[in-house]
Structure 1
Amino acid sequence: MTYKTITAVLSTADDAEKVTQHALALAERHGAHVIGVHAETPIVVTIAAPMEFPDPNAIMEQQAQAQAVSRSIETTFRTLAQRSGVSYEWRLFTGSAGYSASGIIDSARGSDIVVAVQLDPAGDGPSRADIEDLLYESGRPLCLISDAVAGPEAPSRVLIAWNGTRESARAVFDALPLLKEASEIEIFTVDGHDDATQHAAFSGTEIASTLTRHGLNVTVNSASSNGDTVAHVINRRVSATGANLLVMGAFSHSWLRHRLFGGVTSAMLKDLRVPAIMSR
């Protein structure tokens, strides 16, 4: 198993270079084709009063700014892609739906993995809704690039945040091509609990055995949150182990409100210390 088609979702001029570099580095290692995509949001004018008319010059200026951003992002992507020698293509979509635009979702669905930048709480980059759309609508694993200084090199140490759910299991196997590049992998459980098939003390051992059969070097560890948030415990473990990739499932508490992330996933999206593979 390997990645052969990678979609790089470029949201702003500021994140375009970093996301592109990660996508191209992954493509170089796996012999993959990279699709660079950007959703340009058209200018929407709201008229509050019956006799109020928008200034056409202001509208044209805003539209020109949006187009300039798109050209800047495209130039960054094409320049880096041409320099790398990787097979690539560029796609530009226009629509108010942002990441949920049909072109973005269709491109993602046809890929092995999607690369994007992490949630930006300041509002200048992708929003929570953007990330939700990619995870829930594309059906593909999402590689989120953190704001922390982290290069696009192959992962040497991987931390798998394991809770025994369907989502975490899918994330592990979606990340298998990257796991095979790592020299050390740790299955890490926070506040493990007993279930019908396994005692809490053995949480993660079965998936560890499966990965070992793939020839991977895997260890199992666990911790109690002791009143702290699970996200903080995971991030501390990432730092303590020197991991440069986090793998975890993205889940919600209720399928009836599937567009609302669970607390751990939401917290991690805001405070990633290293790139993360998330699957839904």
Structure 2
Amino acid sequence: MTYRALLVHLDDSEAALQRLEIALRIARQFGAHVVGLDIAPTPDAHIFSAIPGAAGLYAEVIRQREQRRGTLRELFDTRCRHAEISGRFLCLDASDRQSIVRHARLADLVIAGQANPNAPETYIHDHVGELLMLAAGRPVLFVPYTGVFPSVGSRILIAWDGGREATRAVFDALPFISHAQQNIVVTVHGAADAPLGSRIPGADIALTLARHDAVIEVLELEGATGEHVGSVLQSCAQARGCDLIVVGGYGHTRWHEAVWGGVTRTLLRTMALPVLMSN
């Protein structure tokens, strides 16, 4: 298994350049094609027509949109050419969710950004990664909106709870895991005095991954519940020098969503390093 088709979400934020550079590095590593996706809102002409003398304003809004799109396209094409990577720039209307999801389903991996509450100008792009993970069923590599990440996937923390979502995430991340210098399978237990029979074994999935030539270590952490698990995973990843966290996304049952959904929200809100999620 490898990544041959990548989709990277682009916007006007400074973080978009970081996402693009990461996408190009992954494309170079796996020999992948890259689609740069710009999701642009289209102004409603009917709203402008209701304002006297607003025809000129509408024309200016359209001109600025096209100028912005051209600048982003030129940036994408230049970076792909410089990196000698096959790429295609794609611009879709923000209201056309069906087309956005359809194109995402053609990708082996989607690279998207963490929502930035301090950048209201990019509100139209907030939570695009979560939309694509849930609606398109593709793994999403979320990149924090702050920080510099010279490597992604050389040392990986794998959050393992034995569930469906974690399983999807592990096997969706297999190209990274097989090539990583080190993988740490982390299971997080509740109270330290919980019955041993209720514990989640990490050794079994570690053995499976080792058969894919992955370098694996198993680590059990104690005494974390609910959303606190997300903080524990991040602290562990940073302490062990990891540059990627692999974790299952939102669950499909109320119980799973209540427990591990909190982990997902914590990681998406406070991530300090890239996180690969599947659901």
Show CA shifts across 1:102-144 (max 9, x none).
332222111111111112233444323x233211111111111
Aligned to 1:116: 112
Task: Point out the structure with the larger helix share.
Answer: 2
Partner Cα separation in structure 2 for residue 218 and residue 90 of structure 1: 37
Aligned to 2:212: 214
Partner Cα separation in structure 2 for residue 54 and residue 67 of structure 1: 22
Decide whether the 8 Å contact of 1:5 with 1:32 is kept in 2.
yes
Partner Cα separation in structure 1 for residue 100 and residue 137 of structure 2: 12
Decide which of 160, 177, 180 is 1:179's aligned counterpart.
177
Matched residue count: 268
Aligned to 1:106: 102
Partner Cα separation in structure 1 for residue 51 and residue 226 of structure 2: 55
Give the residue type in structure 2 aligned to 1:92.
C
Unpaired runs of at least 5, structure 1: none
Partner Cα separation in structure 1 for residue 275 and residue 225 of structure 2: 25
Aligned to 2:157: 159
Partner Cα separation in structure 2 for residue 274 and residue 95 of structure 1: 27
Give the residue type in structure 1 aligned to 2:40.
E
Give the residue type in structure 1 aligned to 2:157.
L
Partner Cα separation in structure 1 for residue 53 and residue 176 of structure 2: 51
Alignment of 1:261-276 (within 5 A): 262-276=261-275
Give the residue type in structure 2 aligned to 1:108.
A
Over the aligned positions, Cα root-mean-square deviation in angstroms equals: 2.8
Show CA shifts across 1:131-165 (max 9, x none).
33211111111111123423353522100111111
Unpaired runs of at least 5, structure 2: none
What's the TM-score, normalizing by structure 1? 0.85
Decide which of 163, 180, 190 is 2:188's aligned counterpart.
190
What's the TM-score, normalizing by structure 2? 0.85
Stretch moving more, 9-18 or 130-139: 9-18
Give the residue type in structure 2 aligned to 1:64.
R
Decide whether the 8 Å contact of 1:6 with 1:114 is kept in 2.
yes
* Secondary structure, aligned partner of 2:36: strand
Partner Cα separation in structure 2 for residue 117 and residue 75 of structure 1: 20
Moved beyond 6 Å, runs of 4+: none
Decide which of 125, 134, 140 is 1:142's aligned counterpart.
140
Describe the shift of the 1:227–1:127 C-alpha distance in structure 2 as closer, same or farther (beyond 3 A).
closer
Q: CA deviation at 1:183?
A: 1.2
* Secondary structure, aligned partner of 1:34: strand
Show CA shifts across 1:210-244 (max 9, x none).
11222222111122227872221111111111100
Partner Cα separation in structure 2 for residue 147 and residue 13 of structure 1: 9
